[in-house]
Amino acid sequence: MTFKTWLHDDIKNIVQSLEDVHKEHFPLENTIGFAGTEKIRTILRDFRFVLYPCVCGPIAKDATRLQVTMTARLRSAAVELRDLIEKAFFTVEPATSKEELTERAEKIVKELINYFPELRRVLQTDIQAAYNGDPATTSMEEILLSYPSIQALSIHRIAHQLYKADVPVIPRIMSEYAHELTGIDIHPGATIGEYFFIDHGTGVVIGETCTIGQHVSIYQGVTLGAKNFPLDEDGNPIKGIKRHPDIEDNVVIYAGATILGGKTKIGRNSTIGGNVWLTHSVPPESKIYTRQPE
């Protein structure tokens, strides 16, 4: 067979085979798709622009121009996000009317962006926590522009709002983008209080049903994960149950520590040492420096 014949006949058959396999598992229309994931990244960059105008460069010197640009980018991001949310809902609710999905998506976008002033206040507490907690930093600008924890938390706190609104797919795409950028893996379902600081950040994993209080600091390689996965009658993991630990206020967790289990609670004002393996609760004011028995 010549290459020309192969291009004409076999490639067409291969494409048809790939399309058939894909259609068996995924719809071909009205989905976010890989193009949608790129749009989500653009939306997050637009959100960063309006949340942190100081990163805008020379435009920040002209207050009027800056405000016009921020307004335009926020409006554009809002429309794009509405369309993506509508598609995400359609994927799981194909029988719902387009009008209802559009109305729901618009409501979610309005609630998210109306929350932005409060979001910016909360993110400033994270910046302050990093400034207070890291003797190596010289300024808050350094933290904002270079610390991976702030980038990860900026995305997480947006994704978490969409997760709470039951938006499919999009919050997870956002969290995995943050993971790709920073090495910090926070599930959008995790609830995180104010003044949260992740020092260094690489290899941190925070699970879906984890809750973290205020003024908590963790270091690289920390895992706040599940101890096990209860299975249903078919042997599949049961979804929607509490699997990850609760961390109360003013806790410090040092590098490499692993804390597992939905019933595990770390009491306030506790310190968990590096490389500790912990699968049971500890009371407030605890200091744990060695591997704990299950």
Residue 99: give the domain boundaries: 25-183
Supply the angle between the helices 63-92 and 98-114 in degrees, to the nearest 10.
140
Domain count, the chain: 2
Residues 60 and 126 in one domain: yes
**What's residue 4's pLDDT?**
87
What is the full per-residue pLDDT of the chain (294 aa) written as tens digits? 788 888 888 998 999 998 888 888 876 667 888 899 999 999 999 999 999 986 655 666 677 888 888 999 999 999 999 999 999 999 889 889 999 999 999 999 999 999 999 999 999 999 999 999 999 999 999 999 999 999 999 999 999 999 999 999 999 999 999 999 999 999 999 999 999 999 999 999 999 999 999 999 999 999 999 998 777 888 788 888 999 999 999 999 999 999 999 999 999 999 999 999 999 999 999 999 976 666
Tell whether 204 and 172 lie within a shared domain: no
The confidence score (pLDDT) of residue 61 equals 65
Please indicate, yes or no, whether residues 249 and 164 belong to a single structural domain of this protein. no
Q: pLDDT at position 198, please?
A: 98
Res 217: pLDDT? 98
- C-alpha 126/C-alpha 284 separation (Å) is 23
Of 183, 204, 221, the domain-final residue: 183
Same domain, 167 and 207: no
Domain boundary among 183, 212, 230: 183
- 41, 190, 217, 236 from 143: Cα distances, Å: 22, 23, 15, 42
Residue with tokens 């996965």: 229
Distance CA 85, CA 83 (A): 6
Q: Quick check: is 229 in a domain?
A: yes
Q: Which of 134, 167, 183 is the last residue of a domain?
A: 183
Domain annotation covers residue 3 = no
Residue with tokens 């009008």: 99
Residue holding tokens 């291009």? 7
- Tell me, what's the pLDDT at 26? 76
Residue 158 sits in the same domain as residue 231: no
Residue 267 contacts residue 213 (beta carbons within 8 Å):
no
SS3 (DSSP) at 279: coil
CA dist 214 and 268 (Å) reads 10
Number of DSSP helices (H) and strands (E) in the chain, helices first: 9, 14
Crossing angle of helices 33-51 and 170-182, rounded to 10°: 70
3-class secondary structure, 162: helix
Residues 108 and 235 in one domain: no
- Beta-sheet strand order (sheet of 277-278): 185-186, 205-206, 223-225, 258-260, 277-278
In a domain, 12, yes or no: no
| Placement of tokens 């090495």 in the chain | 183
Residue 118: predicted pLDDT: 98
Is residue 44 located within the same domain as residue 175? yes
Q: Measured on CA atoms in the order 181, 186, 188, 194, is the torsion positive or negative? A: negative
User: Can you give the pLDDT at residue 292?
Assistant: 65
